[in-house]
Structure 1
């Protein structure tokens, strides 16, 4: 999968592609079959090669067939049953028994989101390490602090980097909490009626859910067909990531302006060039990261809109709008995470230019200091609690996610 109009999309690889979603749906069906056999509900040997029954050549037909039933599982089940008959007749008869389409699609989406979360988490760890070094190295790199686009008071670049790090740590913590996505098994209307009938015991029906969750490496949970907080939470966590990265990108874009020239995005062959102006070296990673930060919130809002539109025991349209929206948000967040890690790894800081700008901003930039301590010598340090703030942020970076 690639997207010509979203440069960098190739970084997401096979994440959430049609093939990945089909594979995830088959994993869910396989886990349910395995649970049925384990608990003695179904007398069958579960085929190991369920996924091998579908090939990439089947994807266009599955995508087209999804329209008639409104979801991609229905044509997949038709195909799987047809190919199981004669080879695994018992498995063909028990396939999907006790489940509903939303159970399988939701849990498959969860599996894809978990993979996205793992990749984003790895990039966050890299970013935290890079930002921690940047913060510590520039504790005393003096520069002009800016508020509302204007010079404010003197600060250090270490303090600015600590602010970037704080945003990334907030994203790490929110993602850690949201990424504990649960299995979805509720049956036709969220009552586990069919599993209870199959087992003859409501308690054993819940055991089937727990066993399925275990095989997928997911926590069990009561049915959430119309309670979509697991998905809105992960969408919000992705946006918290792009918010934090967007802040970094925005500061780099300002700092990289030729008239500012305090920050320089790392150069690489073929990176940042212009089609018409050979003199240009554009901060392209920062530009693309800012793009992701702008695009993320509306996508998360659409996931919330779908949750708010849930009706009855299974949603009509509110559920359906989630799938492509979450795919797009997940892939774009993965891409931006990798780009941010590269941006930070190559970022150059012009400490001399920062100090020169600070000197040029005097005496105005010392106005607050002079108002508090009239007559004090100009150009003396005005650090506040910078050291303590930096130490606290670095200590948090070393700690486990909250």
Structure 2
């Protein structure tokens, strides 16, 4: 999958491509059919995985308009191809029996998104490791603290990086919760499990409702998803994913904004990692543009509107199955997830190779003069009835920096120890 107008898209590889989503839909159909067979409701196991593939994407996409989604065409193909030579044609009719299109699409998206979330989680671990190193190396590298773009009081780059680290630790915790609760969607036509109940009743089950519930649980277990009640119009599972992804791009955007600011030639305290062919200009050969940070800011700016679309769709989900709101989620979620994976990879590269000029930071702090100690001097005058005390060096006014850094490092080490 390529995207000429989203530089770096190739970093997401095959995640959430049409072929990946199609493969996930087949896995859902397979898990459901296996559950029917294991429960004694369908007569024969069939092997569905591999019956359709990338070569079928174009025709399925073209035919999806007829029913508003690609599942109808997929089921037809599976039924056509699943029965081996000499087999009973009726065996294929058990494919998809008891499911609805939304069950397949929703569950397949959970599977495809899970792969993307796993990738982001891995990148976050790498970023946390990189930031631990930066914080430890620069916990006493003094620099000007800036508020509202102006010089404020002294700080250290270690504490600045610790702030970035806290943001990523928050994101990693949120993401872990989402990954652990990705749900299966097995509701049938209107979320009542009616088809499963009827199939169980017709086969003589003493407790057909329990059989229907077990079908959903078995499908969830086969796909390693959470078994939950049908959520056709309760779209929090989708918005929860969107919120976690946007929180990630928010955190990377904040890092990138600091980097592009501190990499300005007149400040020159930070610089991106050097890579041949990156950062150049088409007309100004002297430039070394902070491209990774620019692209991370792009992702941070573009992600929230995508999540907003997911929330709008959730609010407009109507009846027992949504009419258009659900359809608006699919590509929105795919786009948001792929772009977040791209940003995750770019953020890992940025933090692993970030160049810190401690001498420049100290020089800028020294050049700021006594103004950066104005707050301290005001407090001293107040506390000493107008008197002054010794010590005018900026490094003497760093507050509880060491304690704050220690707390962040301890949290990060715990996170790394507990992560798989």
TM-score, structure 1 as length reference: 0.97
Alignment of 1:64-143 (within 5 A): 64-87=62-85, 89-143=89-143
C-alpha contact (below 8 Å) 1:21/1:108 kept by paired residues: yes
**How far apart in 1 are the matches of 2:78 and 2:46?**
13
Structure 2: which 5+ runs fail to align? 202-207, 382-387
SS of the aligned residue for 2:277 comes to coil
Other-structure match for 1:306: 313
**Contact kept in structure 1, 2:46 and 2:83, CA below 8 Å:** no
SS of residue matched to 1:319: helix
The answer as to 2:179 corresponding to 1:181 is no
Q: Whole-Å Cα distance in 2 between the matches of residues 25 and 45 of structure 1?
A: 18
Q: CA deviation at 1:315?
A: 0.4
Corresponding residue of 2:193:
192
Q: Are positions 1:397 and 2:412 aligned together?
A: yes
Structure 1's unaligned 5+ residue stretches are none
SS in 2 for 1:66: helix
Deviates more, 1:285-294 or 1:380-389: 380-389
Provide the C-alpha distance between the structure 2 equivalents of 1:312 and 1:244, rounded to a whole number of angstroms.
37
Q: CA deviation at 1:56?
A: 2.2
Instruction: Indicate the residue corresponding to 1:209 in structure 2.
Output: 216
| C-alpha distance in 2 between matches for 1:20 and 1:184 | 18
SS of alignment partner, residue 340 of structure 2: helix
- Taking the aligned partners of 1:57 and 1:44, their CA distance within structure 2 comes to 27
SS of residue paired to 2:369: coil
| Pairing of 1:1-400 with structure 2 (within 5 A) | 1-47=1-47, 50-87=48-85, 89-179=89-179, 180-200=181-201, 201-374=208-381, 375-376=388-389, 377-380=391-394, 381-400=396-415
DSSP 3-state at the match of 2:275: coil
Find the aligned partners of 2:331 and 2:267 in 1 and give their Cα distance. 41
| Alpha-carbon distance between aligned partners in 2 of 1:96 and 1:55, rounded to the nearest angstrom | 18
Give the secondary-structure state (helix, strand or coil) at the position aligned to 1:183. Answer: coil
Q: Partners of 2:404 and 2:200 in 1: how far apart?
A: 59
Offset of residue 51 of structure 1 = 2.7
Tell me, yes or no, if the aligned pair for 1:44 and 1:90 is still in contact at 8 Å: no
CA offsets 1:63-105 (integer angstroms, 9 cap, x no match): 0100010011111111211222454535411000000000000
> Given the two structures, how large is their TM-score scaled by the length of structure 2?
0.93
Check the 8 A contact 2:64/2:73 in 1, yes or no: yes
Structure 2 SS opposite 1:395: helix
Inter-partner Cα distance in structure 1 for 2:274 and 2:84: 60
Distance 1:233 1:224 in 2: 13
Separation of aligned partners in 2, 1:4 and 1:218 = 34
Deviations 1:369-389 (A, max 9, x none): 111123233115112111111
